[in-house]
């Protein structure tokens, strides 16, 4: 076995899909400096993407920003609500989105496109959540913000034209991990019923010990060093990579994954989270729970965001849409 320049064991990676590799090659032409705790971007994240009206692009969708109560003793939480135009008097399903970024970077505006597409295709209400980031606000700040948003959405369902029994919580990467944690919290706290959890390449294992986590050391869209930084910011040095970490921070640490809402778990074959996400589905199945698992051949982390026109992305979006339709139909 060979070793990397840093002395870590080198594990041969699974090849990327050709369309994915082509985009990665283009991204590699403009390498970005490695992030550290000191250089994490904190200003202007909401200006990195087009505004909501530009993303909606004339589709019949209305939106509004709101400030809702946060967890007890914590600041209020910013959200954006998207509604199909002309749906004010109907009780529709809802999708609560939690953005990615390793729980250390990001803004809800980064994923407006994902939310708007779901609202437009399924004629549902979409809610995009802003949560506190580490290291300034380590665990449990971010997940408590997301849980507060879920509880608020359920409590204000009638006002928003939402069927409270048909709320799906989801997100990608860190957002997927936070969605999985919110599902655990809702079960444990006997909170509102969740219709389903949409977990897109979720970040759920803080130990970084899987084969996949070593295969994508230095390559791909979310690399091992960034993952190590993220977990150290969220959990602190003592618990960052420990199996004693709380399950609401790293859902892979949950000792009991029974009694959870149906899960859709999607991950790329060629990314660091492949093994932890696959294992989570296996553990849910072992309890008799529902988990639809898709491992997309040659897919990099977040391939649908980086390579939206690739055939693999179109296939993944179609599979997600099918699951959402089935879950919302089953929860009527």
What is the DSSP code string of 226-259?
A: HHHHHHHHHHHHHHTT-TTS-TTT-GGG-S--TT
Residue range(s) defining the domain that contains residue 146: 18-28+46-330
Domain-embedded: residue 160: yes
The pLDDT, as a whole number, for residue 277 is 98
Domain-embedded: residue 5: no
The number of helix segments (H) and strand segments (E) in the chain equals 11, 8
Taking only the tens place, the pLDDT of each residue in 109-151 is 999 999 999 999 999 999 999 999 999 999 999 999 999 999 9
What is the average pLDDT value for the chain, to the nearest integer?
A: 94
Domain-embedded: residue 154: yes
Torsion of Cα atoms, 90 then 93 then 96 then 100, to 10°? -130
| Structural domains counted in the chain | 1
The pLDDT, as a whole number, for residue 48 is 79
Counting residues of the chain whose pLDDT is more than 90, the rounded percentage is 89
The pLDDT, as a whole number, for residue 42 is 78
By CB atoms closer than 10 A (0-12, 13-18, 19+), residue 123 is middle
Find all residues with CB under 8 Å of 80, minimum gap 6, and list them.
52, 63, 64, 65, 66, 108, 112, 115, 127, 128
Which DSSP state fits 32?
P
Domain-embedded: residue 3: no
User: Sorting pLDDT into bands at 50, 70 and 90, what band is 1?
Assistant: very low
Which DSSP state fits 323?
H
- Residue 9 pLDDT exceeds 80: no
Q: Which of 126, 195, 191 is nearest to 166 (CA)?
A: 195
Q: What is the mean predicted confidence (pLDDT) over 304-329?
A: 97
The pLDDT, as a whole number, for residue 312 is 98
- Residue 305 pLDDT exceeds 80: yes
Domain-embedded: residue 10: no
Strands 125-129 and 196-200: unpaired
Distance, in Å, from the CA atom of 146 to the CA atom of 35, rounded to the nearest integer, reads 25
DSSP per position, 98-153:
E--STTTS--GGGGHHHHHHHHHHHT-EEEEE----TTTS-TTHHHHHHHHHHHHH
Taking only the tens place, the pLDDT of each residue in 18-65 is 999 999 999 999 988 888 898 898 777 777 788 999 999 999 999 999
Q: What is the CATH number of the domain that holds 189?
A: 3.40.50.1820
- Residue 5 pLDDT exceeds 50: no
**Roughly what angle, to the nearest 10 degrees, separates helices 311-330 and 18-28?**
110
Taking only the tens place, the pLDDT of each residue in 215-226 is 999 999 999 999
User: Sorting pLDDT into bands at 50, 70 and 90, what band is 199?
Assistant: very high
Domain-embedded: residue 157: yes
Q: What is the mean predicted confidence (pLDDT) over 252-274?
A: 98
The pLDDT, as a whole number, for residue 106 is 94
The pLDDT, as a whole number, for residue 8 is 53
Residue pair 250/205 in contact (Cβ under 8 Å)? The answer is yes
The pLDDT, as a whole number, for residue 3 is 47
Domain-embedded: residue 4: no
Task: Say whether pTM exceeds 0.85.
Answer: yes
Q: What is the mean predicted confidence (pLDDT) over 171-186?
A: 98
Distance, in Å, from the CA atom of 156 to the CA atom of 136, rounded to the nearest integer, reads 30
Counting residues of the chain whose pLDDT is more than 70, the rounded percentage is 96
Taking only the tens place, the pLDDT of each residue in 243-259 is 999 999 999 999 999 99
Find all residues with CB under 8 Å of 124, minimum gap 6, and list them.
84, 92, 93, 94, 95, 118, 328
Domain-embedded: residue 70: yes
């Amino acid at each position: 076995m060979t070793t990397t320049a840093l002395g870590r064991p080198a594990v041969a990676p699974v090849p990327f899909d050709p369309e994915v590799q082509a985009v990665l090659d283009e991204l590699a032409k403009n390498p970005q400096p490695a992030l550290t705790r000191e250089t994490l971007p904190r200003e202007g994240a909401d200006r990195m993407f087009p505004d909501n009206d530009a993303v909606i692009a004339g589709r019949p969708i209305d939106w509004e920003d709101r400030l809702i109560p946060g967890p007890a003793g914590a600041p209020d939480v910013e959200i954006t609500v998207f509604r199909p135009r002309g749906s004010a008097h109907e009780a529709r399903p809802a999708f609560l989105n939690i953005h990615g970024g390793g729980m250390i970077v990001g803004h809800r505006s980064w994923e407006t496109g994902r939310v708007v597409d779901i609202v437009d295709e399924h004629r549902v209400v979409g809610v995009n959540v802003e949560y506190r980031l580490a290291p300034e606000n380590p665990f449990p700040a971010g997940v408590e913000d997301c849980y507060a948003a879920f509880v608020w959405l359920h409590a204000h369902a009638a006002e928003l034209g939402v069927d409270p029994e048909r709320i799906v919580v989801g997100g990608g990467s860190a957002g997927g991990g936070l969605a999985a944690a919110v599902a655990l919290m809702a079960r444990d706290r006997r909170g509102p019923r969740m219709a389903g959890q949409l977990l897109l390449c979720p970040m759920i294992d803080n130990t970084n010990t899987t084969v996949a986590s070593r295969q994508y050391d230095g390559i791909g869209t979310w690399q091992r060093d960034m993952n190590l930084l993220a977990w150290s910011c969220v959990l602190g040095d003592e618990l960052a990579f420990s199996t004693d970490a709380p399950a609401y921070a790293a859902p892979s640490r949950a000792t009991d994954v029974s009694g959870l809402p149906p899960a859709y778990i999607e991950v790329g074959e060629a990314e660091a989270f492949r093994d932890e996400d696959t294992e989570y589905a296996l553990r849910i199945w072992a309890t008799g729970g529902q988990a639809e698992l898709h491992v997309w051949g040659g897919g990099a982390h977040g391939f649908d965001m980086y390579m939206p026109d690739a055939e693999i992305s179109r296939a993944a979006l179609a599979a997600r849409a099918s699951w959402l339709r089935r879950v919302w139909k089953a929860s009527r």
